[in-house]
């Protein structure tokens, strides 16, 4: 993958990857993740497109200030990044939390969105992993330093590199480890909890776009999910597809929460086919006015 680039937006440094030429695909990662989650698919996609993959504020190599970590704030960040880079419109691909952000971006800035791709997306129902519900509870800030102590990071990274160097692939575990390892750092933990509590409480997800999906009825939409997803149930994919009759649904058998790393070849093939066989939306009006 290309080296990270940086831009300052509203006084905060935002890291991003920018590769390839052509129509732009904007890749939005999930909670406690980073642009690294796209490492298996970005080079292939960049063969035919410009691919932009930021580290959201509070994640990866971007700054982690106190402040607003809501979906709306993240959508504004993406808008500002596109403006800084002179990009007018994109196909936006969001995974997990990134799916919720992608939907919010499409609602706030419909004129900037060619297509919408939701991958194991948040924001489509109440159900979510019990682990995230537990971490959203009061007192998690006291438990996290014990559950994810700083001294496990380096040994764990060494084991991960050793396995990778010997050709051992465990992509689902690798993504989960990356998320866990990020929580061994205090500023990451604080940003994670702000982000988590903006969308999850002990009862489940607090943001549900299901009753607004009809507003995106004319936006070409692809839904990708693994049928072994233990974080957000695959039923959300079927429900969203029903609410958007014109959408495409791709279920990856035996795949968990990270289709882009667990089955990257199929992910690229499905996304490229979607891009090739759909016309980009060129909206200027609000989605609600469609």
**3-state secondary structure string across 175-199:** HHHHHHHHCCCHHHHHHHHHHHHHH
| 263 catalytic per annotation | no
| CATH of the domain spanning 5-128+205-289 | 3.40.50.1820
Residues 194/69, Cβ–Cβ less than 8 Å = yes
Q: Which residue in 29, 59, 236, 257 is the catalytic one?
A: 257
pLDDT of residue 186: 79
| 229 catalytic per annotation | yes
- pLDDT tens string 89-129: 999 999 999 999 999 999 999 999 999 999 999 999 999 99
Separation CA 114–CA 107 (nearest Å): 12
What is the reported pTM? Answer: 0.88
Q: Which residue in 49, 229, 247, 281 is the catalytic one?
A: 229
Q: For residue 206, is pLDDT > 80? A: yes
Model confidence at 142, in pLDDT bands (50, 70, 90)? low
- pLDDT tens string 45-89: 999 999 999 999 999 999 999 989 999 999 999 999 999 999 999
Q: Which residue in 35, 44, 62, 96 is the catalytic one?
A: 96
Among residues 48, 15, 45, 28, the alpha carbon closest in space to that of 106 is found at 28
Q: For residue 267, is pLDDT > 50? A: yes
For the chain, the structural domain boundaries read: 5-128+205-289
Q: At what angle do helices 171-182 and 153-165 cross, to 10 degrees?
A: 160
pLDDT of residue 174: 64
Q: Considering the chain, what is the average pLDDT of its residues?
A: 86
Percent of the chain past pLDDT 70, that is, above it, reads 82
Quote the tokens at residue 182. Answer: 């990020």
Specify the pairing of strand 5-9 against strand 24-28.
unpaired
| 257 catalytic per annotation | yes
CA angle 252, 255, 256 (to 5 degrees): 125
Q: For residue 290, is pLDDT > 50? A: no
Q: For residue 259, is pLDDT > 80? A: yes
């Amino acid at each position: 993958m290309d080296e990270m680039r940086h831009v300052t937006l509203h006084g905060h440094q935002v890291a991003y990857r920018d590769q390839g030429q052509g129509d732009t695909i904007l890749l939005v990662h999930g909670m406690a993740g980073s642009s690294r989650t796209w490492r298996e698919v970005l080079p292939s996609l960049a063969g035919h497109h410009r691919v932009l993959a930021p580290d959201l504020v509070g994640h990866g190599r971007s700054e982690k200030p106190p402040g607003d970590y809501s979906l709306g704030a993240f959508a504004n960040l993406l808008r500002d990044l596109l403006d800084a880079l002179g990009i007018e419109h994109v196909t936006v691909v969001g995974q997990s939390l990134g799916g919720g952000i992608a939907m919010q971006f499409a609602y706030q800035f419909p004129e900037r969105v060619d297509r919408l791709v939701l991958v194991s997306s948040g924001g489509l129902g109440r159900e979510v992993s019990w682990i995230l519900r537990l971490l959203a509870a009061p007192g998690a800030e006291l438990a996290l330093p014990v559950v994810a102590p700083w001294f496990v990071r380096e040994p764990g990274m060494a084991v991960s590199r050793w396995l990778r160097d010997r050709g051992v692939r465990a992509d689902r575990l690798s993504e989960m480890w990356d998320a866990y390892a990020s929580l061994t750092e205090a500023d990451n933990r604080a940003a994670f909890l702000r982000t988590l509590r903006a969308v999850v409480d002990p009862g489940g997800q607090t943001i549900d776009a299901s009753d607004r999906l009809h507003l995106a009825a004319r936006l070409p939409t692809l839904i990708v999910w693994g049928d072994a997803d233990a974080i957000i149930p695959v039923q959300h994919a079927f429900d969203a597809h029903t609410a958007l009759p014109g959408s495409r649904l791709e279920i990856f058998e035996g795949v968990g929460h990270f289709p882009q790393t667990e089955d990257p070849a199929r992910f690229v093939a499905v996304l490229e086919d979607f891009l090739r066989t759909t016309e980009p939306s060129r909206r200027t009006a609000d989605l609600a006015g469609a």
